Structure 1
């Protein structure tokens, strides 16, 4: 697999006429890491992903993917090392049939047709969309359209995956399918940077969390530490109480593992009964 590393070095970015959204931001994501990017709406999370894949260029500083400077690398070169899932699936669908959508990036890269077909069939199977291969993408429901963008990313077969709110349209079965795929990609050594406001999902799947605020990373660490930040927990009325936060509220050692929490809480209850 090609080098999957992502590196931001003193990156500054702002939209024309507006104050800088990102200020002297530095971070790295290495091969094999699954990193969540969290923070309030408007903090610059989606902008950061667009900088990571070369859709935007930094005003100052350097962004590199697999050693390629995104400011200088040609789009076809970047497309071989980084792939992005947009927050709104509809915005990246451009073909008239599901199978054609999945095959689009591979054909654009000039791969042999046999390889394109192999990747397409495999991606459709992984995402449970084989039965919809000849359907129009907009005849799928919201969760299936999200899976379609995932299938296109799988077929692209790049070492760096950039996922913007990847679970927002999923039902329980689709979420389980996605988390199974994510676990396999982590084991395969891909670098993954994802945005999510679902802190329970983050705690289950991302060993490292970056909290973006004020133009930079204000916290970088494991979910049981970063997700307990009161500023993060209060960034919206609907913020979910994560398992680590619940552990802290109950006086338990923070954990993201439900079985560990269950064992620890049962121990507390047993001790309480014994004292009574």
Structure 2
């Protein structure tokens, strides 16, 4: 079994004189995993992210990035292990050209100019931003700026990737491109941990879901099970607005893609003599 890329060992965290935000949390994220982090506002999701990339240090317990103890590691060491997409892409942009922004992290890592150029070219191609390389990032629309933040992560080339509400601002074509990248990242052996309130997106991509409540892991398991948790939505036959929930309500085999559901539904309807279920 592969060693985890992220590991929390009984981690707790609290601001001074405040209630604990995370309490004795233990979790592991392995290569090839795509794990969703869900829960209501204030559950501890953002705090977990900041601990995972070393922006915060635990009050107790340990956070490991591979064999690296985040409390002891220096920022350049952390930057080689984990990358983070902010919920608001504008907050992590610091250069005046798109290509310079994408090459910022590789340049700080001390890579050669040739290697930086190769990474920038690849990242811009994957995100569809090649034609915008010379533009100022703030001249891009919201979806393009989010793609720019993704291109920067691709160029950073880390085994663990953290995404905070990654699908916001995307139209259908950009979302399709983003989802293609997510599939490729897993095929490359990377681990993706993302925060999202888009239950349909989670159902399509998450191999596992962690549901946080009051700084603790309330549920940990397959999306089809965890998304039914009553704290996330009302209980009932259609407990979650996802294709798996729809399939369950119709007594159909579970599927997660629209085209697969359409074919399944056509086959189901065709089985009735009058064409009506």
Moved more, 122-131 or 253-262: 253-262
C-alpha displacement of 1:251: 3.1
Counterpart secondary structure, 1:211: strand
- Whole-angstrom CA distance in 2 between matches of 1:11 and 1:113: 40
Contact 2:228-2:240 at 8 Å conserved across structures: no
- Give the structure 2 partner of residue 170 of structure 1: 170
Contact 1:3-1:67 at 8 Å conserved across structures: no
- Give the structure 1 partner of residue 7 of structure 2: 7
Deviations 1:3-59 (A, max 9, x none): 761001111112233211111111100011111111112211111111101011111
- Whole-angstrom CA distance in 1 between matches of 2:4 and 2:189: 9
- Give the structure 2 partner of residue 56 of structure 1: 56
Counterpart secondary structure, 1:230: coil
Cα 1:255/1:57, change in 2 over 3 Å:
same
Task: Note if 1:221 corresponds to 2:221.
Answer: yes
Moved more, 262-271 or 74-83: 262-271
Task: Note if 1:28 corresponds to 2:28.
Answer: yes
Equivalenced residue count is: 272
- Give the structure 1 partner of residue 126 of structure 2: 126
Please list every run of 5 or more consecutive structure 1 residues that lacks an aligned counterpart in the other structure: none
TM-score, with length taken from structure 2? 0.92
- Whole-angstrom CA distance in 1 between matches of 2:174 and 2:117: 24
C-alpha displacement of 1:273: 3.9
Contact 2:10-2:23 at 8 Å conserved across structures: yes
Please list every run of 5 or more consecutive structure 2 residues that lacks an aligned counterpart in the other structure: none
Contact 2:203-2:256 at 8 Å conserved across structures: yes
RMSD value over aligned CA atoms?
Answer: 2.2
Contact 2:44-2:214 at 8 Å conserved across structures: no
Cα 1:178/1:211, change in 2 over 3 Å:
same
1:91-102 to 2 correspondences below 5 Å: 91-102=91-102
- Give the structure 1 partner of residue 17 of structure 2: 17
- Give the structure 2 partner of residue 231 of structure 1: 231
